[in-house]
């Protein structure tokens, strides 16, 4: 579990009078409990949660067009065509369709 010990977070300690003392750092660097500003010893209470920002991108096909469902874990997901996504990333327009949709376009069967 060495990678867990490397995560920096804020550890919270409390003295008997109710004062909260915070210490920021990694688990491996944590030493003895700090003393409160009132001079009393403190006890470990816990640590503040670490916010992890993960983005998931799921590719899917709908009506011959390739698209992405992008979720940041905060609120509603974003649905974006692969063409628009790559245009935002590179600035170039490359249309992305399935092989069947491209064949139907060549035959003039799509709108």
Distance between CA 91 and CA 102 in Å, rounded?
23
Q: What is the CB neighbour count within 10 angstroms for residue 97?
A: 19
Phi, psi of 69 (to 5 degrees): -110, 110
Q: What is the pTM of this model?
A: 0.46
pLDDT confidence of residue 1: 55
Contact 35, 41 (CB under 8 A): yes
| Tens digits of pLDDT across the chain (111 residues) | 567 777 788 889 999 888 888 888 887 787 888 888 888 889 988 888 777 677 889 999 888 888 999 988 777 889 999 889 989 988 888 888 888 888 888 888 765
């Amino acid at each position: 579990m060495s990678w867990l010990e490397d995560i920096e977070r804020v550890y919270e300690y409390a003295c008997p009078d109710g004062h909260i003392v915070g210490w920021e750092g990694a688990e491996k660097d944590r030493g003895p409990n700090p003393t409160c500003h009132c001079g009393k010893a403190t006890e470990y209470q816990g640590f503040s949660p670490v916010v992890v920002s993960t983005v998931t991108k799921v590719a899917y096909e709908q009506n011959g067009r390739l698209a992405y469902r992008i979720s940041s874990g905060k609120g509603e997901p974003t649905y974006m065509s692969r063409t628009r996504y790559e245009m935002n990333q590179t600035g170039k327009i490359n249309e992305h369709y399935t092989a069947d949709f491209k064949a139907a376009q060549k035959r003039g069967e799509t709108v």
